[in-house]
Structure 1
Amino acid sequence: MRAQVLEAFNTPYVFKDVKKPDAPTGQDLLVQVQAASYCHTDAVFASGAMWQDLPRVGSHEFAGVIVAMGDDVSKELGLSVGAPVGVPGRAFHPCGSCYECRVNDGDPHGYGVYCTKAGNLGLSRDGGFQEFCIVDSRQVAPIPQNMTAVDTAPLMCAGLTIWNALQAARVTLKEGGGDGLTVAISGAGGGLGHLGVQFAVKLGCRVVAIDASDGALELLRQVVDSLGPLSHKVSIVDARTQTPEDVRIETCGKPENDLPGEKGVDALLVLPEAQQALTFGMKLIKDHGICVTVSFPKEGFLIQPRDLVFRHIEMKGVLVGRNHQLREMLNFAAKKDVRAKTRTYKLEDLNQLVTDYHNGVNGKLVVDMTK
């Protein structure tokens, strides 16, 4: 079967024929891949900054159709041969006995997304840049009828992560659950960010969408235009030309008695690996607000303790999400028409996709296996 294989770090993928996986056993599925999305983590892995396991077939956010099932796949998962599914990279074969697997917030018994012993498709095990892939039945989600594989693939990491980040930011993940909340998204014009804007608005939030490049801001304008009657709930901010102090007043109002902590956004999501993104965004948060970071820059972030101590701002970090969140996110996206802005490529053209990514092409870049 056809596959794109990373054989050495900091080199192009190698397009080649590889052995098709054997029939699945136990709780595994064999999925015929229809679309595979490229994520920032794919670029980090290809640089040699993560797992050192090579060769590797990348992509930890993909979608396809079940073509075979192991004998132990639980009927409670609602899966069947021929069913379309979305596949996130985490978690493949967790240990089933550690704290994460035992205390798993309602996911399948013994299945812990955050198990440190679990595999990760596209990183520690082969992922979606191939025609067929073995996946754990407990990590997938059925694709709703009105969504395609290309629609679904970018949601398997970017969509799930930003959905989890919104929950960490105290947004209730149901329609109207963000009523009354204002959420700032730093890096709103990126892959996660433009999905986060859509989710937050359609959950009922007001959104302050921050970015600092022409391409990202243009993508944001396209997203806001697509929101129709809800577009008034988004304020687009160019961090290059606007100050956080002015943005705070323009979007949240001037505080009475010049008490700055009384006005501001309820939550900030920090998506870029840039200190400026955190610094700008922290100045928008009102006292007792929350900052949720998704990014993890190699050199770390500089955090001002006075924000935590005197302003009582809470800080959290998130990584992807649980299986039940995956399913609810995907169903919400289908119902509320949340879609990534995508550019598609043939599998043979994966290296061109990677070049475009590093050149700053916006939205989500996806291999469409039907092309």
Structure 2
Amino acid sequence: MRAQVLEAFNTPYVLKDIPKPPSPMGKDILVNVKAASYCHTDAVFASGAMWQDLPRVGSHEFAGVIVAMGPDVSSSLGLEVGTAVGVPGRAFHPCGTCYQCSNNDGDPEAYGVYCTKAGNLGLSRDGGFQEFCTVDSRQVAPIPEGMTAVDTAPLMCAGLTIWNALGQAGVKLVKGGGKGKVVAISGAGGGLGHLGVQFAAKLGCRVVAIDASDSALELVQGVAGALGQLGERVTIVDARKQSADEVRWAVCGQPETSLEGEKGVDAVLVLPEAQQALEYGMKLLKDHGTCVTVSFPKEGFLIQPRDLVFRHIKMVGVLVGRNRQLRAMLNFAAQENVRAVSRTYTLQELNSLVDDYNRGTSGKLVVDMTQ
């Protein structure tokens, strides 16, 4: 079968024929990959900054069709040969006995997405840039009717992560659950961000969509326009031209003197790896608000303890989400027409995709295996 293989860090992928995976055993399934999305973490991995296991077939957000199943796949998962599924990278073969696996918050029994012993497809194990991939049945979600593999693949990491981030920000993840909430998204014109704008608006939030490049802001404007009347809930901010205080008072109203902390957004999601993005977002928050960080800059972030102590700001981090969240997110996306703005490539064109990503092409870049 064909696969794109990273054989050395900071080099192009190599298209080659490799053996098709054997028939699945245990709880595993074999998926015929139909679409595989490229994520920022793929770029970080290819630079050598993460796992050192090479060669590797990348992509930890993909979708396809089950073609074979191991004998121990649980019927409770609703899977069978022929089922179209979305596949996130986490978690492949968790240990089943650690704290994460034993306290998994409603996921399949003894299956912990955050198990530190689990594999991660596309990073520690081969992922979606190949025609067939062995997958743990407990990590997938059936694709709802009306969604394609290209629609689904970008949601398997970017969509799930931003969905979980909104939950950590205090938004109830049901239709209308964000009513009364004002959520700022820093990096709203990126892969996660433009999905977050859609999810937040359709959950009922008022959204402050922040970015600092022409292409990113253009993407956000297109997303807001496509929301129709719901687009009125979205305030688009060019951080190069508008100060945080200006935005805070314009969106949330002018405060009384000495009561400035009572006005501001309820939560901010910080997606870029820039200190300026964190500082801008913190200035938007009202007291007792929540800052959710998704990015992980190599040098770290500088946090001001006075924000945490005197303003009671809560800071949390998010890494993807649980299987039950994956299924809920995918069903919500199908029902509410949340879709990534995407550009597709053939498997042979993966290196062109990477070049476009490095040039800052907006939206999600997806390999369509059917082309």
Question: How would you bin the TM-score normalised by the shorter chain?
Answer: over 0.9
What is the 5 A alignment of 1:309-348?
Answer: 309-348=309-348
Could you tell me how far apart the structure 1 residues matched to 2:121 and 2:71 are?
21
Tell me if 1:5 matches 2:2. Answer: no
Q: Secondary structure at the residue paired with 2:266?
A: strand
Aligned counterpart, 1:160: 160
Could you tell me how far apart the structure 2 residues matched to 1:258 and 1:145 are?
53
Aligned counterpart, 2:360: 360
Q: Secondary structure at the residue paired with 1:283?
A: helix
Q: Secondary structure at the residue paired with 2:307?
A: helix
Q: Identity of aligned pairs, percent?
A: 78
Could you tell me how far apart the structure 2 residues matched to 1:45 and 1:329 are?
26
Which amino acid is the alignment partner of residue 204 of structure 2?
Answer: G
Cα displacement (A) at 1:258: 4.6
Aligned counterpart, 2:37: 37
What is the 5 A alignment of 1:186-205?
Answer: 186-205=186-205
Could you tell me how far apart the structure 1 residues matched to 2:312 and 2:164 are?
22
Aligned counterpart, 1:92: 92
Cα displacement (A) at 1:259: 1.7
Q: Secondary structure at the residue paired with 2:365?
A: strand
Aligned counterpart, 1:287: 287
Cα displacement (A) at 1:256: 2.1
Could you tell me how far apart the structure 2 residues matched to 1:87 and 1:149 are?
10
Aligned counterpart, 2:209: 209
What per-residue deviation string (whole Å, max 9, x for no partner) do you get for residues 237-283 of structure 1?
00001100100011111012352101000000000000010011100
Q: Secondary structure at the residue paired with 1:42?
A: helix
Could you tell me how far apart the structure 2 residues matched to 1:77 and 1:256 are?
54
Could you tell me how far apart the structure 2 residues matched to 1:273 and 1:73 are?
39
Could you tell me how far apart the structure 2 residues matched to 1:186 and 1:6 are?
31
Could you tell me how far apart the structure 2 residues matched to 1:203 and 1:12 are?
40
What per-residue deviation string (whole Å, max 9, x for no partner) do you get for residues 155-197 of structure 1?
0000000000000001000001010000000000000000000
Aligned counterpart, 1:241: 241
Could you tell me how far apart the structure 2 residues matched to 1:3 and 1:251 are?
49
Could you tell me how far apart the structure 1 residues matched to 2:336 and 2:174 are?
11
- Give the gaps of 5 or more residues in structure 1: none
Which amino acid is the alignment partner of residue 149 of structure 1?
Answer: A
Could you tell me how far apart the structure 1 residues matched to 2:248 and 2:112 are?
40
Aligned counterpart, 1:133: 133
How many residues end up aligned between the 2 structures? 371
Aligned counterpart, 2:229: 229
Could you tell me how far apart the structure 1 residues matched to 2:211 and 2:284 are?
14
Q: Secondary structure at the residue paired with 2:209?
A: strand
Q: Secondary structure at the residue paired with 2:257?
A: helix
Aligned counterpart, 1:275: 275
What per-residue deviation string (whole Å, max 9, x for no partner) do you get for residues 219-243 of structure 1?
0000000000101100000000110
Aligned counterpart, 1:121: 121
- Give the gaps of 5 or more residues in structure 2: none
Q: Secondary structure at the residue paired with 2:21?
A: coil
Could you tell me how far apart the structure 2 residues matched to 1:257 and 1:279 are?
23
**TM-score in terms of structure 2 length:** 1.00
**TM-score in terms of structure 1 length:** 1.00
Could you tell me how far apart the structure 2 residues matched to 1:189 and 1:58 are?
24
Q: Secondary structure at the residue paired with 1:19?
A: coil
Aligned counterpart, 2:350: 350
Could you tell me how far apart the structure 2 residues matched to 1:322 and 1:299 are?
28
Aligned counterpart, 2:62: 62
What is the 5 A alignment of 1:140-155?
Answer: 140-155=140-155
Tell me if 1:296 matches 2:292. Answer: no
Which amino acid is the alignment partner of residue 217 of structure 1?
Answer: L
Q: Secondary structure at the residue paired with 1:298?
A: coil
What per-residue deviation string (whole Å, max 9, x for no partner) do you get for residues 79-134 of structure 1?
01001000000000000000000000010000000000000000000000000000
Tell me if 1:109 matches 2:130. Answer: no
Which amino acid is the alignment partner of residue 163 of structure 2?
Answer: W
